Every structure is written in structure tokens, then in C-alpha cells.
């Protein structure tokens, strides 16, 4: 049993790492897409932003697929409960991601409906950026479950104050990633525009972070005794400040690094507060899905860990290679969009 508990904890951490990687990487291209109306006012500026995210967006979503697959393999009951209970919200996310991907290609090859595809890209970026945080907020604060581990609420059950505040915080964190990335990849007036938007989002982030903390004190009974959550919160606050310092000095790469660590800190808070729960039952804590009652067998966890140890270095290696290959400012002479 001790060995099984060890593997359960390892997979809790690994899935967290995958979700952090996805949030940081796909976060910036979702952020760029959602901010497109504010960061680009003409075709030239739009093409720069499309080409900034073009080489990365599909590779970034590998992290989401890997995280979903890992959740299915390691904690199948959690996967079934979340994906069935959040069915409508997840379908919205799925269709948004599909139309977003289609829009990137069709904008070039269907000029008659260029505006349609541009707005499909914006909306397809905005919806996931908001709904991911709402989903996380619901998982942390708890959802009604029955003895069969099935969600007993409805779509409107998910739209409660705490999840909505967390959803807005996640949205602003993603938008901040996007605006900083845009500042990294652009020059001149467009870079100045991205820097201005970043300043506004930087300020909005701390307001929503404070509101989320207050909401957590109200709705989460155990936050007061979760020491690691406060450590992660301190990391968030320090990197939030250092993000501003980097922006003031036009060190956009450093600002992106700081905002990425800040994003990881948010996940650290959620993980520390929620552990050892995976899906909290709001109606009866005894019905909650935890590491111990919802995992696969020790054999499955062992085999999957071996596969992960082989596959993850490949994913990380490809990610590093892609970002090194396409580093620097966007030059439209070599663009395809």
C-alpha cells in the first residue's frame, strides 16, 4: 500500500506539471488570440501576431492532450466524473479550439470571409481562457456528487461566485502571458501598444488575485492550514512585482519568465489547497474523489510512469527546439499567414 501511495503522489505531481506546462505555453497563444482586437488594428499588425503564434500553437496543445491522457490513465474515475459533469462547458472549449485552429488556416485561404475567421480566432481563444479557470474553481471548491461518483448538478451549478472569480483570475493570467509574448515578438508602435495593455493586465491581476484570496477564505475551510499554499502565494506576489520591473526596463523575455513562474505559482496554490482531493464533493466530503480512492492499479501507474519517463523528454526536447528555432522578432518577409 505504501508503494501504491507513492505512485499516486508521483502522478498527482506529474499531472500538475503537465497542466502548468500547458497553461504557460498555450496560455500565451490563447492570450494573443483573445487580445487581437487590442493589439492589432490593421492587416500588417494582425499578420505579425498570427505569425508569432503560428509555429507554436499546435505543439503547445500537445501538453493538454498529454495531461488529459495522463489523467485518464492514472485517475480514470476523476476523468469520467469531470468530463461527464462538465460536459457542456468542455464541449464549448472543444468547439472553440477547433474553430480557432481552423481560423488560423482559413483566414489566409478564404479572404472573402476574413473577418469571420478573425473573430472565430478571437472567440475561440477567449472562451477556453475563461472556462479553464472556471472548471478549476469548481473542482477546488467542490461539486455535488452521488455515491456513484457522478455529478448531480447542472450547467448553472458551475456558475458560482468562487469558480467565476477563479475563472477571471485565470483569464487575466492568460491574457498577461499573451500581451507579454506579443511585446517580445513585435517592435515599434505595436510593441508599445502591447506594453500598455500588459500594464493594465498586470494591475488587474493583483486585484483579482486579492479577490480570489478573500473568496478562498470564505468558501474553502482548509486554506488557513495549508502552509504550502502560502509559500506558492508568496512566489506569485514576488514574480508579479518582478514582472513589472522587467517591463519597465523593456526586458520582455525576463518579464515572460517571471509571468510564467507566477502562473506556476497559481497552480501551486490550487494543488496545495486541494491535496489530497482530486474532485471535492460539496454535498458530502466523504464522497470526494481523492488520490487514494480514484487511481488506477499500482501496475498501471508503474507502466504509465515508465512511458512518461520516455515520452516527456521527447516532448520537452521538441518544445525547446521549436522555441529556439523561431526565437526573435517576427519578420513578415518569411511569413505564411
Q: pLDDT tens digits for the chain (337 residues)? A: 588 999 999 999 999 999 999 999 999 999 999 999 999 989 999 999 999 998 888 888 888 888 888 999 999 999 999 988 888 888 999 999 999 989 988 888 888 899 999 999 999 999 999 999 999 999 999 999 999 889 998 888 888 999 999 999 999 999 999 999 999 999 999 999 999 999 999 999 999 999 999 999 888 876 667 889 999 999 999 999 999 999 999 999 999 999 999 999 999 999 999 899 999 998 988 899 999 899 999 999 999 999 999 988 988 898 899 888 888 888 776 554 5
Over the range 207-230, which residues count as b (16 or more CB within 10 Å of their CB) and which as e?
A: ebbeebbebbeebbeebeebeebe
Q: Cα–Cα–Cα angle for 78, 82, 86, nearest 5°?
A: 175
User: First vs last Cα of the chain: how many Å apart?
Assistant: 55
Backbone torsions φ then ψ of 283, nearest 5 degrees: -85, -30
Contact 215, 273 (CB under 8 A): no
Strand segments (E) across the chain: 277-279, 289-290
- The SS3 call for residue 289 is strand
Helix axes 227-248, 252-274, angle to 10 degrees: 170
The C-alpha cell 508569432 sits at 52
**pLDDT of the residue at 105:** 84
**pLDDT of the residue at 333:** 63
Phi-psi region of 250 (alpha: psi -120 to 50; beta: other; left: phi over 0): left
Total residues belonging to the chain: 337
CA dist 158 and 267 (Å) reads 20
Amino acid at each position: 500500500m505504501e508503494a501504491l501511495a507513492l505512485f499516486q503522489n508521483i502522478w498527482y505531481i506529474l499531472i500538475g506539471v503537465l497542466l502548468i506546462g500547458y497553461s504557460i505555453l498555450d496560455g500565451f497563444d490563447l492570450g494573443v488570440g483573445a487580445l487581437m482586437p487590442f493589439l492589432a488594428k490593421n492587416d500588417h499588425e494582425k499578420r505579425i501576431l498570427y505569425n508569432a503564434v503560428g509555429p507554436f500553437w499546435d505543439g503547445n496543445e500537445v501538453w493538454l492532450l498529454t495531461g488529459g491522457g495522463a489523467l485518464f490513465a492514472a485517475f480514470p474515475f476523476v476523468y469520467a466524473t469531470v468530463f461527464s459533469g462538465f460536459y457542456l462547458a468542455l464541449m464549448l472549449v472543444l468547439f472553440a479550439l477547433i474553430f480557432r485552429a481552423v481560423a488560423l488556416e482559413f483566414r489566409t485561404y478564404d479572404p472573402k470571409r476574413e473577418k469571420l475567421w478573425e473573430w472565430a480566432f478571437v472567440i475561440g481563444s477567449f472562451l477556453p481562457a475563461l472556462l479553464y479557470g472556471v472548471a478549476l474553481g469548481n473542482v477546488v471548491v467542490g461539486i455535488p456528487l452521488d455515491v456513484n461518483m457522478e455529478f448531480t448538478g447542472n450547467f448553472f451549478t458551475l456558475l458560482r461566485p468562487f469558480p467565476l472569480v477563479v475563472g477571471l483570475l485565470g483569464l487575466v493570467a492568460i491574457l498577461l502571458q499573451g500581451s507579454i509574448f506579443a511585446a517580445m515578438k513585435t517592435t515599434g508602435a505595436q510593441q508599445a501598444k502591447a506594453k500598455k495593455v500588459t500594464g493594465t493586465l498586470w494591475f488587474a491581476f493583483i486585484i483579482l488575485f486579492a479577490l480570489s484570496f478573500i473568496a478562498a477564505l470564505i468558501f474553502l475551510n482548509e486554506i488557513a492550514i495549508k502552509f504550502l499554499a502560502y509559500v506558492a502565494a508568496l512566489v506569485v506576489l514576488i514574480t508579479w512585482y518582478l514582472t513589472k520591473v522587467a517591463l519597465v526596463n523593456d526586458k520582455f523575455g525576463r518579464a515572460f519568465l517571471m509571468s510564467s513562474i507566477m502562473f506556476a505559482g497559481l497552480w501551486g496554490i490550487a494543488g496545495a489547497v486541494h491535496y489530497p482531493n482530486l474532485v471535492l464533493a460539496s454535498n458530502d466530503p466523504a464522497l470526494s474523489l481523492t488520490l487514494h480512492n480514484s487511481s488506477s492499479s499500482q501496475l498501471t501507474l508503474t507502466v504509465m510512469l515508465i512511458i512518461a519517463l520516455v515520452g516527456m523528454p521527447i516532448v520537452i526536447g521538441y518544445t525547446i527546439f521549436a522555441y529556439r528555432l523561431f526565437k526573435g522578432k517576427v519578420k513578415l518577409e518569411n511569413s505564411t499567414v
